[in-house]
Structure 1
């Protein structure tokens, strides 16, 4: 079934507080090889995010902290664009602490949010990482684009295993002992017999929701029951 953010997020993450100075934030980003870091208050609530785009407004970040041979992932024209546009750009260029540099409020997600929804938020907001917070807004982890891509890149064997273990064995109340699952290049073929046509339709719909499934070929038959088009 659709995985949740909690299934793929990184739980041990670096964070800074509002008073963390520019120099220390830069060192955290480089040391952890991340593009952004959450800013938290004394109780762990996420109050903002400081990204490379925020720090690249200061030329010294590139000059002092990028090791030899390393190139910023953000293009120079993107850096120039963020300097020219966006609320408070000039103020951020003069900022010395996380509270002065951060983007707030932070765009966050919840552990129980589906990875599909998290991916949609990242695409819509043009960001690479989302802080994961509980219902009180406290930091629980971070989910990145890379984490989400891994979910949708499941192998055929992994997809087949998930269908068998999470749907055929556990999630469906009907007898599925007569069903065979075959997966090729993300296309699932369901072959075999179900007790009723309604059960077969439910099975197909559930398989369609599995991450990594591109299409479902329904070759199921049924033992008894109503017309599949009317039941």
Structure 2
């Protein structure tokens, strides 16, 4: 079964308005036990995201530059223009990272993981097709996909992949799952069909790796080259 963002996201989301002051944002993060909060407008559209890192820049710059009234040289201010701007910020609009990296609830969970990796973020705002906030998905939410019981993973591979999706004879295939690692043994009629079975098993949520020990009766891989 294809797991979507809606299956793993948190739908009870704490958000702040663009005018929310620094201290209130900090209290929101601490009280909610969260590391970032989305910033929304009056229509619940996502404008950006404020994280702990964004807030800490203010103290970082104060400690580095303003002890005993010190003013940083021009080259230091130019070297960190974004950090300097956020260090001066007092509201969510001034502190947030914008635009926020977003994804829809209908997107595949694996797509969320790829987007986080590509954009180097720890969480995504989940929005509807009009850009309104409906949830948050974090790296921790996605890690939960790998906590599926081995028996559940094996059952999905047997029932959904081998029996329903391939449309070929899979009676000779055996499935074993240990700690999320799938081992496929036995035989199939064609080599290409065995390769497809391995690829599809690897896409099942919770699968860490697939060990291919399948054999085949007919090597039809050469036919695909023509």
- Which TM-score band (shorter chain)? 0.7 to 0.9
TM-score by length of 2: 0.76
Aligned partners of 2:80, 2:150: CA distance in 1, in Å? 44
Equivalent in the alignment of 2:220 = 228
- In terms of mean alpha carbon deviation, does 22-31 or 88-97 score higher? 88-97
Contact conserved, 1:35 with 1:51, CA < 8 A, in 2? Answer: yes
After TM superposition, what 4+ stretches of structure 1 lie above 4 angstroms from structure 2? 83-86, 192-198
Gaps of 5+ in 2: 65-75
Gaps of 5+ in 1: 60-75
- In terms of mean alpha carbon deviation, does 6-15 or 198-207 score higher? 198-207
TM-score by length of 1: 0.75
Structure ranking higher in helix proportion: 2
Equivalent in the alignment of 1:70 = none
1:141: Cα distance to partner?
Answer: 1.0
- 1:57 is paired with a residue whose SS is helix
Matched pairs, number: 209
- 1:56 is paired with a residue whose SS is helix
1:152 corresponds to 2:146: yes
1:90: Cα distance to partner?
Answer: 3.0
Alignment of 1:119-198 (within 5 A): 119-192=113-186, 194=188, 197-198=191-192
1:57 corresponds to 2:57: yes
1:16 corresponds to 2:16: yes
- 1:23 is paired with a residue whose SS is helix
Q: CA RMSD in A?
A: 3.0
Aligned partners of 2:6, 2:96: CA distance in 1, in Å? 25
1:193: Cα distance to partner?
Answer: 5.0
1:118: Cα distance to partner?
Answer: 2.4
Alignment of 1:17-96 (within 5 A): 17-59=17-59, 86-96=80-90
Once the two structures are superposed, residues 156-205 of structure 1 have per-residue CA deviations (whole angstroms, 9 ceiling, x without a partner) of 33321331243234433334445321123443222345465554332222
Task: Go from structure 1 to structure 2 and tell me whether the alpha carbon gap of 1:96 and 1:179 turns closer, same or farther (over 3 Å shift).
Answer: same
